[in-house]
Amino acid sequence: MHRQFRVSARSCVMFLALTATACLAQQPAKPPAFPVQDGDYIARNFHFSSGETLPELRLHYATLGKAERDVHGRVTNAVLILHGTGGTGRQFLLPQFAGVLFGPGQLLDITRYFIILPDNIGHGHSSKPSDGLHAHFPQYDYGDMVRAQHELLEQGLRVNHLRLVMGTSMGCMHSWMWAETYADFVDAAMPLACLPVQIAGRNRIWRKMIMDGIHNDPEWKNGDYTTEPRAGIEIAADFLLIAGSAPLRMQNDMPTRDDADKNLHDFMQRVTAQLDANDLWYAFNASRDYDPSPSLEKITAPVMFVNSADDFINPPDLGIAERQIKRVRKGRFVLIPASEQTHGHGTHTWAAFWQQYLKELLDESRR
């Protein structure tokens, strides 16, 4: 079943969870309107890597444009765009992304490309713990999420090839997995704001703090709570705000103590009202076995890998991106310098900062 919808600025609320300041200081007055088809695919008897099974796994998606095929029936213009933790496919319909990429004559003009925006397992309108199973929902991981995306494409949308896979944050990590696992399926990959290695160090610690904060709240009740465990949710929101912060921008936008206090209060009110403790815990736990580093040499598609210098989650001083990209045959790494205009981790969703590199990737992979 399909229906048309228009995205509203409300779509930014959950996306704020990991890119807290990206929308905090600057909300566009009116998002662009695009003709979007909204639908659901049901994966039957979906088997998770944990050994668990769901009789029906619902995968929600939105699409723009139409698929085109060559004489052999191969889809030639499909673009899969993958969201981050706490987000949905609809976040990419906001002006800072869609308004820069999807319009007439733009790089991913929807009259030329078939854009696919899924809600991943545990997110948006796809199957998730808060639907009713709570902490009895299968313990999904990133591998399950990527396999479900692949099934959605092949079985649900009849897409047998991707012109491009790209993603932000968690979607960035999924893009690396796509480039390895389905090497012949993709022409090009653009991971935005992540690292192609196991989540460790500070990145693992702040995620574990969120998970422990939820589990250690007495009101969590082993996931069978009837009202949200307030302390756990507030601990999570505190860390999410810091992880998504951009120091220069925050200092400019909140130059006084009162400004900072008011913004913190408003953020907590807005974000905690939207979070579900089980959904959030599952989403962070899903990254537990992510590690594409052993197979980077297997990637055959051109890769344009982009991070930003003010990203708390993927700090450039680690030097990991520069080292790992050397192992990718057709890989290139770009670091966007920090400025008063960048958005920390959330820079990944402001396409104006990296659209030139997307153009270079599309041009290179067209040869």
DSSP code for 197: S
- Whether residue 181 has pLDDT greater than 70: yes
Average pLDDT over residues 47-51: 97
* Element at 25 (helix H, strand E): none
Domains and CATH numbers, the chain: 3-202+285-366 (3.40.50.1820)
pTM of the predicted structure, to 2 decimals? 0.92
Average pLDDT over residues 129-134: 97
- Whether residue 362 has pLDDT greater than 50: yes
Average pLDDT over residues 146-165: 98
- Confidence (pLDDT) at 30: 55
pLDDT tens for each residue of 190-236? 999 999 999 999 999 999 999 999 999 999 999 999 999 999 999 99
- Whether residue 12 has pLDDT greater than 60: no
Average pLDDT over residues 161-172: 98
Cα separation, 236 vs 243, whole angstroms: 10
pLDDT tens for each residue of 281-310? 999 999 999 999 999 999 999 999 999 999
Find the range with the poorest average confidence among 27-36, 272-281, 329-338: 27-36
pLDDT tens for each residue of 55-112? 999 999 999 999 999 999 999 999 999 999 999 999 999 999 999 999 999 999 999 9
Confidence tier at 15 by pLDDT (50, 70, 90): very low
- Confidence (pLDDT) at 32: 59
Find the range with the poorest average confidence among 27-41, 121-135, 257-271: 27-41
- Confidence (pLDDT) at 33: 79
Beta partners for 36?
5
Enumerate residues 6+ apart whose C-beta is below 8 A from 281.
210, 211, 214, 215, 223
Alpha helices in 135-200 (DSSP H): 142-151, 170-181
- Confidence (pLDDT) at 366: 80
Q: Which long-range contacts (CB under 8 A, 24 or more apart) does 237-242 make?
A: 237/17, 237/267, 237/268, 237/271, 237/272, 237/275, 239/206, 239/209, 239/210, 239/213, 240/17, 240/18, 240/20, 240/86, 240/210, 240/271, 241/20, 241/21, 241/267, 241/271, 242/206, 242/312
- Confidence (pLDDT) at 31: 52
- Whether residue 146 has pLDDT greater than 60: yes
Average pLDDT over residues 324-343: 96
- Whether residue 18 has pLDDT greater than 50: no
- Confidence (pLDDT) at 129: 98
- Whether residue 17 has pLDDT greater than 70: no
